[in-house]
Structure 1
């Protein structure tokens, strides 16, 4: 969902280049260790929206580094406001297009990529825009470490079915698959951090679909 432009958010983003990287040079990989000031494991959320998921994750795990990859400047500003309020030094915001993820991160550098409630692009002619289309999966494979993982959640049954098929066709291995995440075992639910959309959809009684997958063969 596209957010309405908020002047304060745009201004805040422009005032904090140390926390928000905008339009990076595609010819040069980003030195994430320099931006974070350490070489802790990196996890990425593609399309962070207002950032509840990624900021909560960063707050819970100070031993890891997190990157919110978000195209909209207003959304980046909302995430930044939370980051500054909570003092999340282990969170960086990258304003850029997910289609360029392989240009923003070096090969074999990322532990987890989170895809939360991505745009389903339901029309067949738009399938190449889906974040689980094979061209995106190929880029995730480059960025992820050998044992890295994709964690995907959606309320859209069609997108979920497509994503399972797309990942299977790509030769991916599924560590976990659920067609009703909020009714899984307690040990699974304890690990789950709800996004804004997830809370809204689940409150209406909609099932939440989820999977964890990697590029390792059995």
Structure 2
């Protein structure tokens, strides 16, 4: 997804630091108590983009906590504007790369992980960047609660087939649905 650079993005995000967590590493293992101040389950979307999916989830499920993780600051401004329109107390935003998930969340801290239409990184030399690469799957297993769930959606056949193999190699229980 291409979005023009927004030179005002950093300042806009800093003025809403109650929504965008500026120091997320300080909350590892303490998200429920320190940030959400409740005992509700925590669900994350990695690569939230403009936020339509996670905003709708948070609106429909006020008894659950959500964290949108997006590394592109300009895209985060779009998500943040939508959050402001909806005023959702059960949604927070982290501007971070998914490779740092182990530093952000403790073992067994996350209930569900959503990967929706992630960058397929189509070149063979970029396979380690795919969010379904074994290194990421190992991180997900650690931060997910026992019987936690990973939801993966893609419209890229190559990424889908690659991901199925990675899930099987890493012994994930699968339920798949393919829409044509």
Give me the TM-score of the superposition, normalised by structure 2: 0.94
1:131-175: per-residue Cα shift (whole Å, max 9, x none)? 00000000001110011010000000000000000000001111x
For structure 1, the 5+ residue unaligned runs are 181-206, 208-218
1:115 deviates by 0.3
Whole-angstrom CA distance in 1 between matches of 2:125 and 2:168: 21
Asked whether the equivalents of residues 58 and 88 of structure 1 are also in contact (C-alpha less than 8 Å), the reply is yes
Which position in structure 2 is the counterpart of 1:154? Answer: 154
- Equivalenced residue count is 179
In structure 2, the gaps of 5 or more residues are none
1:59-138 correspondence to structure 2 within 5 Å: 59-138=59-138
For 2:144, the equivalent position in structure 1 comes to 144
Superposed displacement of residue 35, structure 1: 1.0
Distance 2:9 2:106 in 1: 29
Q: CA RMSD in A?
A: 1.5
TM-score normalised by length of structure 1: 0.78
Q: Residue deviations 1:35-68, cap 9 Å, x none?
A: 1121210000000000000001000000000000
Contact 1:20 1:92 in 2 (8 A): yes
